[in-house]
Amino acid sequence: MSLLHERLNSPISTAELQRRWAAVRASMSEAKVDALLLQNSNDFLGGYVKWFTDLPATTGYPTTIIFPRDGAMTVVSQGTFGLDRKISPAGEQQYRGVERLIGAPGYASARYTTHYEAEAVEKALTPFAHSTIGLVGASHTAILLDHLRKALPRASFDDATDLVDAIKAVKSDEEVTFIQRTASMQDKCMEAVAEAIRPGMRDIDVGAVAERVGRHYGSEQGIFLCASGPAGTAAVYGIRHFQNRIIQKGDVFNILIENNGPGGMYTELGRTFVIGRASTEMKDDFAVVREAQHLTAEMLAKGNSPRDIWEAYNSFMRKHSRPEESRLYCHGQGYDLVERPLVRFDESLPIGPTMNFACHPTTVTATNFASCCDNFLISPKDISRLHNYPQEIIEIT
């Protein structure tokens, strides 16, 4: 076993990467796109870089990929002045499908340095100065795009996001295996929370229990939203900055585990705990959101349009005198925490097998917060819930 193989956390197979590249190139040929330009800077919504290279974009440093219709990729990323070198496939096995690496020592926190990245990407795109360049995603900065359009006036910059999204949303057998492993990992995270939670702990301490278990099973990145509060109040999920409260006897505690698993795929699992007994109001609200989730899953399985599912969901919530959704309650997932298709009125990408969806119906009142979050996998024949953790309020007595 090579040292590199020992260091890598659950790499995707080269055959899977080749499948993705071939599918995209076929669509590029049909659309007459010569090269794709994509950029990400974080693990949470940075799935394009990961999907094309199996390398995560992290810590706010932009990673830019030039993916040609013919030939290998160029990567522009954080690096030293003057870095521009050929990749040796034998000696640098992490750069699969990449032939060139260019450094760009710029930082968003030091605006005067941002032109280094723009100039590096311009250099990488020089062979396509008279070509059609497809922009993928919405992470490119205005500084970068303005520079490229001025520096390459004869190139055509078109939106090619739909071209990639339609392929990326449909999961291969290998991707499904990683998604299933993530859901199983999150079940273990939630089990650990149930065993550990007790009065006297801060919210952030409970979230840390889930994070530690996730790390043990191969998670690299994640968000752990949680909040506690007295019974009869709405303990709405909060980020770590709002997780300093100390849990008391009789409190309600809500947690949403949104970490990726081995291989980098996301699922998410959310439940409610009570340090005591759940009230009738809590049970009634949870029953509604659980039923709303099941309704959504049935409609996903039948291939309904995102708009129709959104409208049916809101009709259900109105019927049960609960607030309608006004943001996002169900969406695809993969290398992105939120991935298309979005189950919403404005989504154009159709639902179909094989796709991975997170579904988290929620209702909030002055006296209660209720949500039920699980992932569902659509197969050609049916739909299955990927998490096995019980769909109930967990009473800690």
**What is the C-alpha to C-alpha distance for residues 179 and 58, in angstroms, rounded to an integer?**
20
Structural contact between residues 351 and 377, judged by C-beta atoms closer than 8 angstroms: no
- What pLDDT, on the 0 to 100 scale, is given for residue 221? 94
- β-pairing, 63-68 vs 35-40, is antiparallel
Structural domain boundaries in the chain: 3-168, 173-395
Q: Does domain 3-168 bear CATH number 3.40.350.10? A: yes
Percent helix, strand, coil in the chain, to 5, is 35, 25, 40
Q: Which residues pair with 332 in a beta bridge?
A: 339, 357
pLDDT tens, per residue, the chain with 397 residues? 465 678 888 999 999 999 999 999 999 999 999 999 999 999 999 899 999 999 999 888 999 999 999 999 999 999 999 999 999 877 788 899 999 999 999 988 999 999 999 999 999 999 999 999 999 998 888 999 999 999 999 999 999 999 999 999 999 999 999 999 999 999 999 999 999 999 999 999 999 999 999 999 999 999 999 999 999 999 999 999 999 999 999 999 999 999 999 999 999 999 999 999 999 999 999 999 999 999 999 999 998 999 999 999 999 999 999 999 999 999 999 999 999 999 999 999 999 999 999 999 999 999 999 999 999 999 888 899 999 999 999 999 9
Structurally, at CATH architecture level, domain 173-395 sits in Alpha-Beta Complex (3.90)
**The pair of three-digit structure tokens given for residue 72, joined into one six-digit string:** 């290998």
- β-pairing, 269-274 vs 394-395, is parallel
Which H helix or E strand runs over 68?
Answer: strand 63-68
Is the pTM higher than 0.85? The answer reads yes
Q: Which residues pair with 257 in a beta bridge?
A: 224, 269
Structural contact between residues 65 and 73, judged by C-beta atoms closer than 8 angstroms: yes
100 closest CA partner among 49, 64, 150, 151: 64
Summarize pLDDT for 313-347 with one digit per residue, the tens: 999 999 999 999 999 999 999 999 999 999 999 99
Summarize pLDDT for 217-234 with one digit per residue, the tens: 999 999 999 999 999 999
Same topology for domains 3-168 and 173-395, yes or no? Answer: no
Summarize pLDDT for 349-397 with one digit per residue, the tens: 999 999 999 999 999 999 999 999 999 999 888 899 999 999 999 999 9
